[in-house]
Structure 1
């Protein structure tokens, strides 16, 4: 006679494990042994490096069999992370069981062009006051930015965290079953008390501007002047002499409408036209839109990561059980250097909290897609 697994005691840490074994079956066995089967979890989070993108569906199936956890949510990345560690490119697996009440979560069905698949959870969502979505998206889906905004809007007091798959191969995700080309994940009852925070990786330079003329993603006029003229003034004489040096260092920032915290979205500058004095950015533009320029700054990013973790720790009213972290693939070793410094700081500030996550091709926070940020969710 079998009995239905019960959720673990309310304040027990989430079981989590990681493996860097070169063979995925052994990695699954190592993680399953570490997690055990007595946790009563029906949900788990899984992240693998893209070296195992092709094997990811089989990995999820093996985890289901080895751990007894029926439902998994996760994706692959060029880098993954776990408590105090960053792991890039080479085979790696990070998993965490989430022993949450069965009525506290639902898998998010794959969203590709619209939210019609969400209808299956209408009754459950109708009983919630707040809802947090942990979501993963395929960057090849052109509808993704719109889907992110729409999903956050229709969930009760909706808020999203997550990231876009980063892979040199398949952009595979899992939300119950393996899938590609969509937005997927898990929806959590806000009553679970998950706390979230965002850390920026860039710092604004110069003043705030207004887009006065544009066409799709092409900046033609800023403050009534040629866009490239304003850009060159803001970045300074040294960088203006060699605009190619500015690539990957200077970005366009777009203040979030209605936000009074100074939050802004960072987008790459993808092209310059010195003859016609134009700038191209990785965002569709509108006349009248506010704009600022910002630069990647490791020291500022480090201080902001310290601020984020300290403020989040102060907001916790209980010892954390587990955490998810979604960082930009341009952060980590590329911003803070080798030695897992980014994840090391989070462990230093929050303690030995079970944590898993990945380095994303874009980070999701609230109702928007960000870049060069770190997004942390703590249970």
Structure 2
């Protein structure tokens, strides 16, 4: 598998930004290490270009004849290589060179079919990249249903984000089911889910990185109701929270300040929760504390916890976020390293510095990184710092992505996380 061409640019005029991106793509497509005729395009634009999204998609589609399928969305920020764009109009594109029968663009107009009673999916339903509208009703259920339509149950992606209306992009050879659907679909969609489903022959290596660290031990949820944590290990949840934070309702302002800085990490029974190493497992979903109920001694959170689940009080922490991002990059590299390396592969694997040129021997054709809109440079200490960590660890792998209003991995919706997925060759 050759490297995926990619490009990114910012400019007040969308046409100029698109031309700058096209120049980068065409220059790479002419190089022997890069794919020359990729058929799938991933497009991410910042929310300042949201209203121009349809024109940008049409222009790129007309300018790249080999690319017949497109997927993507709008983000309050987007990323590419070691750069991130916030508060400026920008475009990022990556062109994926994949077998035509091993992927399919899907949307509400052309949803993935369910796995049949015998468990036999189509050839492209192994895993899926997902973009979702955050205002969609019953979104967690829709994500879980979509995961059930893949053989692995693995989704990766995130929720569109922006300061106004957000959209998704979906164009494919099977992206409409009828002539009426073709007429209605311009490739720019709102509401629901869309994305790309991939076949088993397309190797994907994906990891979730957490942006918080635990400030309490893990406890069992022993009683809950709707969005209330009522008892933890049999003790009133509010009493446990105040004890862990070392505050009292007798000093309300101090208590409120401490609670506002605290979140809850939830994990289902048997899932990867608080690890022995003291860090959060990949299955932990971080949720806000949205209220306290002194009468019932309960804590309200932005989720619906169930008895039997486990929880940990957590806080956001830039140092923990940097360390965990470095960890998942190392795990991806280790998974892709062959047991026996040729000199060429070993040399390429060792070149992880930011200035290192990406080499096909490193077995990574491209990557997608979906990070929480609350992360980025503001959380990591400097503009582009989050992406620089990825580049330092993986090398100059072609990468695009966006900053989401919520992240998707497996069948879960996350917050304050990053989801890094690499397209690898065997």
Number of the residue aligned with 1:171: 166
Q: Is the 8 A contact 1:129 1:156 kept in 2?
A: no
Output one character per residue of 1:234-269: Cα deviation in whole Å (capped at 9) or x when no partner: 123499862332355311111143334742111111
Give 1:130 shift. 6.6
Output one character per residue of 1:122-154: Cα deviation in whole Å (capped at 9) or x when no partner: 8xx735497120001111012211111122123
1:82 and 2:102 matched: no
Number of the residue aligned with 2:46: 49
3-state SS of the aligned residue for 2:196? Answer: strand
Give 1:277 shift. 3.3
Q: Distance in 2 between matches of 1:105 and 1:54?
A: 28
Number of the residue aligned with 2:269: 257
Number of the residue aligned with 1:200: 210
3-state SS of the aligned residue for 2:400? Answer: strand
Number of the residue aligned with 1:315: 335
Number of the residue aligned with 1:233: 243
1:26 and 2:24 matched: no
Q: Is the 8 A contact 2:101 2:123 kept in 1?
A: no
Q: Distance in 2 between matches of 1:130 and 1:350?
A: 27
3-state SS of the aligned residue for 1:206? Answer: coil
Q: Is the 8 A contact 1:211 1:291 kept in 2?
A: yes
1:35 and 2:25 matched: yes
Q: Distance in 2 between matches of 1:283 and 1:173?
A: 26
Number of the residue aligned with 1:331: 375
Output one character per residue of 1:157-180: Cα deviation in whole Å (capped at 9) or x when no partner: 231100001111112001211111
Q: How does 1:26-175 map to 2 (within 5 A)?
A: 26-36=16-26, 39-68=36-65, 69-110=67-108, 117-119=111-113, 126-128=121-123, 131-175=126-170
Q: Distance in 2 between matches of 1:261 and 1:181?
A: 32
TM-score (norm 2): 0.80
Cα distance change of structure 1 residues 216 and 66 upon mapping to structure 2, 3 Å threshold:
same
Q: Distance in 2 between matches of 1:199 and 1:99?
A: 27
Q: Which has the higher strand share?
A: 1
Q: Distance in 2 between matches of 1:236 and 1:142?
A: 38
Q: Distance in 1 between matches of 2:307 and 2:272?
A: 22
Cα distance change of structure 1 residues 362 and 14 upon mapping to structure 2, 3 Å threshold:
same
Cα distance change of structure 1 residues 136 and 31 upon mapping to structure 2, 3 Å threshold:
same
1:221 and 2:231 matched: yes
Number of the residue aligned with 1:301: 321
Q: Distance in 2 between matches of 1:56 and 1:15?
A: 21
Structure 2: gaps of 5 or more residues: 31-35, 172-186, 275-280, 338-361
Q: Distance in 1 between matches of 2:271 and 2:405?
A: 24
Structure 1: gaps of 5 or more residues: 1-9
Output one character per residue of 1:337-377: Cα deviation in whole Å (capped at 9) or x when no partner: 22211000100111111100001111111111111111001
Backbone CA RMSD of aligned residues:
2.4
Q: Distance in 2 between matches of 1:240 and 1:311?
A: 44
Give 1:193 shift. 0.9
Q: Distance in 2 between matches of 1:21 and 1:371?
A: 30
Give 1:290 shift. 1.9
TM-score (norm 1): 0.89
Q: Is the 8 A contact 1:162 1:326 kept in 2?
A: yes
1:243 and 2:263 matched: no
Q: Is the 8 A contact 1:138 1:182 kept in 2?
A: yes
Give 1:91 shift. 0.5
Output one character per residue of 1:11-53: Cα deviation in whole Å (capped at 9) or x when no partner: x211100011111111111111221276212211011111111
Identify the match of residue 219 of structure 2 among 197, 206, 209.
209
Number of the residue aligned with 2:409: 365
